[in-house]
Amino acid sequence: GAGVSQTPSNKVTEKGKYVELRCDPISGHTALYWYRQSLGQGPEFLIYFQGTGAADDSGLPNDRFFAVRPEGSVSTLKIQRTERGDSAVYLCASSPPGLTGANVLTFGAGSRLTVL
C-alpha cells in the first residue's frame, strides 16, 4: 500500500480483556517497528522485526505484550489481561532495506487503545 495501515483506529476494552492490534507496512519494507505513545509524550520503542523474526523486543514492558509477523509483512501486537495503564496510542512504523534507509521510519496513524 501507499502508507502504513493500522487497524483498528480506536479500540475500547475492559480491564482484563485480550486485544489485538494490526499493522500493514509499506510494501517492500523489511523492517517493522512498534512504538507506544502516551498522552503528551514522545513515542517509546516496543519491538523491532527484521523479516519474520523479532530482532529486538527489549522495549516490551512485560510478558502480557507479544507481537508476531509470521510472513514478514503484516504484524499483530497482542496484549493479554489489559490494564488501565496500557491505554495509549500504539504506533507502527516500517523502513526500507539498506543501511541508509534503515532508520528512515514511516509511521502509521496509530491505534488508540482505551482500557476502562
Q: Which residues bind other proteins (CB under 8 A)?
A: 4, 31, 33, 40-45, 48, 50, 55-56, 59, 91, 93, 99, 102-110
Q: How far is the CB of 91 from other proteins (least distance, A)?
A: 6
Q: Residue written as cell 495501515?
A: 5
Nearer to other proteins, 50 or 76 (CB): 50
H-helix segments, the chain: none
| Distance, CA of 66 to CA of 92 (rounded, Å) | 14
Cβ atoms of 33 and 86 closer than 8 Å: no
Question: What does DSSP assign to residue 21?
Answer: E
CB of 48 to other proteins, least distance (A): 5
| Closer by beta carbon to other proteins, 53 or else 85 | 53
Place of cell 529486538: 56
- Least distance between other proteins and beta carbon 109 (Å): 5
